[in-house]
Every structure is written in structure tokens, then in C-alpha cells.
Amino acid sequence: MIVLSVDPSASKTGYVVADVLEEKVDLLEYGTINLKGKKNHLEILYRELEEKIKNFQVDTVLLETPFYSINAQTLIKLGEVRGVVILLTQIYKLKLFQYTPAEVKISVTGYGRSSKEEVINMVNRLFDLNLDDSDIADALAILYCHTLKRIEV
């Protein structure tokens, strides 16, 4: 199964494309899509993710659910970004799995209110990487959470 894991953000969206077989995960590509300050940020996101879906023949998308935010504008922008991702899953008839931030953090660190640094450190250990980007680390954490959930089933 080829999975696209997305950490949605209106400024910089992290993503990971991986081949997931049973307990084995092969990372095919990971990175960020910089959207900050771009007028057509939703179109850029759509085209970048569509390219990943087509190039890697993705069949499953993983997405973090929104968290509570005091800033309504931030929540609205996040909703727009999530809408682009969900639209792509519907257009390409992909499976969609969504996980809460707490679920993701618990699966990676064992604590649902872990700091960004703790998530980055654990993701680096789990995937034998040396990342310092929290957006990529979050997309990897979502992927790890999904993998654990599949094993539990």
C-alpha cells in the first residue's frame, strides 16, 4: 500500500510518501510544501499533492484532524488546507484515515501532550533519520500512528 501522510498547515505542509507492507515501512519521499505568503497557496498545495498521488500511485492518505485553536483565522486557514487534501482523496478515490494530534503523539512518544522536540527526537529514532523539521516529523508521526493502528486491528 502506498501511503501519503500529510501534516496540514497554511504556511508549510509536511508530507511523507511511503510503501507500507505489514510492519515494514519504506520511505519513498518526504518534504514540505511552502505556502506562506503565496496568493494561490491552495492551488499550489493541490498540484503538489496531486503530483505525489500520480507519481507514486498513492492509494491511501493519512491526515491529522484539526486541533482546538483560540485563533479563528488559523482554524479557517487550516480547514481550507484540509479541504484540499480531502478533495484529492475523493477525486482519486483514495482511502482516508484521520488521527487526532493526541493519538499521533501517544503512538510516537507515549504522551498525548508531547512537545515538538520530543516528537522530532522519537521520529528520528523510529525511522533512523536526522530531521530537524517539525512539519516532516509530524507527517512521519502520523504515518507511524497509522502503522500501529493497522497492526492492532
> Which residues are designated catalytic?
7, 64, 135
62-74 b/e (C-beta count within 10 Å ≥ 16 → b): bbbebeeeeeeee
The residue type at 124 = N
> 139: how many CB neighbours lie within 10 A of its CB?
30
- Residue 36 C-alpha cell reads as 506562506
- Can you tell me which residue has the cell 510516537? 108
Rounded Cα gap, residues 131 and 138, in angstroms: 11
